[in-house]
Amino acid sequence: MKTSIFWFRRDLRLEDNTALHAAITQKKNVLPIFIFDESILDELPDNDPRVNFIYKTLKGINQNLQANGSSVLILKGKIGEVWKDLIDKYAIESVFINKDYEPYAIERDYKIAKLLAENGIELIAFKDQVIHEESEVMKADGTPYTVFTPYKNKWLELYNPQKIKPPITFTNFHKEQYPFPSMEFLGFIESKITVRDFVLNNADTYAETRNYPFMDSTSYLSPHLRFGTIGIRQVIAKLKASDQTFLSELIWREFFMQILLHFPNVVTQNFRSKYDGIQWLNDANDFEKWCNGETGYPLVDAGMRQLNNTGYMHNRVRMVVAGFLCKHLLIDWRWGEAYFAKKLLDYELSSNNGNWQWAAGTGCDAAPYFRIFNPMEQLRKFDKSEAYVKKWIPELGSSKYPVQMIDHKFARNRALETYKAGILS
């Protein structure tokens, strides 16, 4: 039987899924698959909570399909080898995917498209995880925006509300019940850290509450957007006209995506090369204290402990934590970015990189390098009652809590001198 394949990746949902909807409406036999990519998994611990989340989400999708006589084919291995086996086993007519814009994904999809083409199979790719992709939001001269505000203005100018696609019909799915593998069979174990359900009913108060970590009023949406358990169109459709601050955060996500796409060197290099001369201290002991939440600065330490224990960190706290590492401790932003990549449930290369370079002052739309947060002032301003820091630092105020590892005034002056000396003319 001629078969079309839909390849789940960063779009783990049956609703409003662009490529899946296109595959199903062709009214041909559609086999849904997911591949656990060993090239990625080999670098992760066996209890990685993000892998757990993917697994549990796929299990839910599979149960839905099983109730309608179908299932997801779960595979594991090196992507190229898996696809060679699929080509040998099935009479594949076409493969449907939603685009992924990260460097590894682009290279992967190029290789798979080539392999499929060599076997007479068409790879059909769709825009799905963004509203505006690749080169859709550009300056008048055809070059990409590197400053957020004009990008946002152009994004809004081009935006037209998009209809959510109607529910899919299950009649065109491949009618075979594949066994759903256990986590142990796939080489995973249960994680104590779980992804929280998202909430969008507080978007209208987001502007007033977003800076106060003790209020716990954020949406917890970002891991769901990262793995596509909800689509960006579905999110925006739920927003009101007054929810502009919340919408801006979604536009920041796409801004950093297009920065990464047009300037892939930012993965390892400063966006602004004039900062390449900064002499980072990169003290391993200082970095360990920062990682463990033992700096003596409560807001920094609470943030790191929240991250280590839950995979989350409040956005305001992320700025303070990142700024402290780069400016107070003079540790290369790449160290912090790599640590966040291991821990964050919502880790996304483009946003993680963009925000870390913003904190270091080396990125696009960068804050001036002389903008250095005072962590104690940030605490007084945004957690005055210390409800947030006391939640994560039970020993706060006792002799068990460490003294400040560095004086703020000294660290600020040292950072200013180091940056001035390191700026290349």
Q: Which residues are catalytic?
A: 249, 252, 280, 315, 333, 356
**Backbone torsions φ then ψ of 241, nearest 5 degrees:** -60, -25
| Contact predicate 51/44, CB 8 Å | yes
Helix (H, G, I), strand (E, B) or coil at 198: coil
Are the C-beta atoms of residues 94 and 87 closer than 8 Å to each other?
no
Calpha distance 191→247 (Å, rounded): 32
Cα 1 → chain centroid: 38
Describe the crossing of helices 349-360 and 315-323 by its angle, rounded to 10 degrees. 50
Question: For the chain, how long is the longest CA-to-CA vector?
Answer: 72
Positive or negative CA dihedral for 330, 331, 334, 338?
A: negative
Short-list 380, 384, 360, CA closest to 372:
360
Cα–Cα distance measured from residue 372 to residue 328, given in angstroms and rounded to the nearest whole number:
8
> In Å, what is the CA distance from 337 to each residue of 224, 331, 412?
20, 11, 21
List helix spans (H) across 90-144.
103-118
- The structure tokens listed for 38 are 């060993």
